[in-house]
Structure 1
Amino acid sequence: MIEMKDVWKTYPNGVMAVNGLTVYIQKGEFVYVVGPSGAGKSTFIKMMYREERPTRGDILINSQNLRLMKERHVPYLRRDIGVVFQDFKLLPSMTVFENVAFAMEVIEAGRDDIRKRVMNVLDIVRLKNKARFMPHELSGGEQQRVAIARAIVNSPAVLIADEPTGNLDPDTSWEIMHILEEINERGTTVVMATHNRSIVNNMRKRVIAIEGGRISRDEVRGAYGYES
């Protein structure tokens, strides 16, 4: 599903963010990516959806080599990868429905398909009754649920979540995690970068810890392993 083989990433300023990283994530796994600030987690995550390209080494997602991929093919890759960010990235002038539908309009889906699928994913994230609301009318947790709906509306094989609970209170964070767990149970591979010690320690999924650009731990039912 996701495979990294001896991956290195050095930025133009000389900073080495990832240092000989090798890892394999199977289809249907739920994986936490943890580690101290500046350890290389963000680069690790960004390389999965080709926001960053490795300096050397290979990254394969569904047998597609992201390092060798031409720029014109990247949008097609991202149709199969949903991404959720800490700061939601919703379009403020669009309704909840329109924000989610936009992801399907980009791939030129039919109007009937869009309406059916958007309402279906809004039901999954418990926001079907707020389809016509504007983002500013929603709580932070509701906005993040809209972002999740947008990320999964095209039925991606992989969902990447970069600190999705970072701006949320504990109760709301757990609501988001239960939704992500449900999405995972439906067959989507979930990779989540997080600093949330409580969530990682309580949910006991696979934990990949990155320190100094290398994998320091890879545990099937791991713990956070760092001070809050």
Structure 2
Amino acid sequence: MIELNDVWKTYPNGVMAMNGMSIYIQSGEFVYVVGPSGAGKSTFIKMIYREERPTRGEILVGGENLAHMKERHVPYLRRNIGVVFQDFKLLPSMNVFENIAFAMEVVEASKPEIRRRVMDVLDIVRLKNKARFQPHELSGGEQQRVSIARAIVNNPDVLICDEPTGNLDPETSWEIMHLLEEINDRGTTIIMATHNREIVNNMRKRVIAIENGRISRDEVRGRYGYES
């Protein structure tokens, strides 16, 4: 599904963010990406949805080599990759339904299909009764649920979550994690960058630890492994 082969990334300022990284993630896995701040986690995440390109090496997603992908093909890649951010990134001028529908409009889905699918994902995230609410009328947890609904509305094979619980209280964080586990159970591959020690240690999944741009640890049912 996702494969990195000897991937290096050096930014123009000379910072080396990836240092010969190689990893394979199978379809349907739930993977935590952990490590100290500045270790290369964000670069790793951005490489998978082609926000960043490697200096050298090979990145394969669904058989496509992202290192050599032409810019015009990137939007098609992203139809199969949903992204959930720490700060939600909802459009404040649109209501809940419109925020989610927008992700389908950009891929030119029909209006009946948009209506059906948006209501389906609102049901999955348990927000059907909030379809006409504006983002500012929602709690942080509800906003993150909308962000997740938007990320999965086009049925992506991969869901990338970049610190999805970083702005949430512990109780709400657990609600989001149980939702992500349900989505994973439906067959979606989930890759989640996190600093949340409690979540990683209690919801035991595969853990990939990154330090100094390298894979320092790769464990099935792993633990967080760093002090709070």
Question: Structure 1 residue 45: deviation in Å?
Answer: 0.3
Question: Structure 1 residue 8: deviation in Å?
Answer: 0.4
Question: Structure 1 residue 78: deviation in Å?
Answer: 0.2
Aligned: 1:201 with 2:201: yes
- 1:28 corresponds to which residue? 28
**Per the alignment, in what secondary structure is the counterpart of residue 67 of structure 2?**
coil
- 1:149 corresponds to which residue? 149
- 1:51 corresponds to which residue? 51
The within-5 A match list for 1:108-187 is 108-187=108-187
| Deviation sequence 1:65-121 (CA, Å, 0-9, x none) | 000000000000000000000000000000000000000000000000000000000
Amino acid at match of 2:80: D
The alignment of Structure 1 onto Structure 2 pairs a total of residues equal to: 228
Matches of 1:147 and 1:49, distance apart in 2: 17
| Deviation sequence 1:123-181 (CA, Å, 0-9, x none) | 00010110000000000000000000000000000000000000000000000000100
The within-5 A match list for 1:53-92 is 53-92=53-92
Question: Structure 1 residue 194: deviation in Å?
Answer: 0.1
TM-score by length of 2: 1.00
Question: Structure 1 residue 195: deviation in Å?
Answer: 0.1
Question: Percentage identity across aligned positions?
Answer: 83
Question: Structure 1 residue 31: deviation in Å?
Answer: 0.1
Matches of 1:147 and 1:55, distance apart in 2: 31
| Deviation sequence 1:4-31 (CA, Å, 0-9, x none) | 0000000001100000000000000000
**Per the alignment, in what secondary structure is the counterpart of residue 67 of structure 1?**
helix
Matches of 2:148 and 2:34, distance apart in 1: 21
**Structure 1: any 5+ residue segments left out of the alignment?**
none
The within-5 A match list for 1:207-218 is 207-218=207-218
Matches of 2:45 and 2:108, distance apart in 1: 27
Coordinate RMSD, CA, aligned: 0.3
Matches of 1:224 and 1:212, distance apart in 2: 17
- 1:97 corresponds to which residue? 97
Question: Structure 1 residue 62: deviation in Å?
Answer: 0.4
Matches of 1:97 and 1:227, distance apart in 2: 40
**Structure 2: any 5+ residue segments left out of the alignment?**
none
Matches of 2:204 and 2:13, distance apart in 1: 37
**Per the alignment, in what secondary structure is the counterpart of residue 223 of structure 2?**
coil
Matches of 1:65 and 1:12, distance apart in 2: 23
Amino acid at match of 2:115: R
**Per the alignment, in what secondary structure is the counterpart of residue 68 of structure 2?**
coil
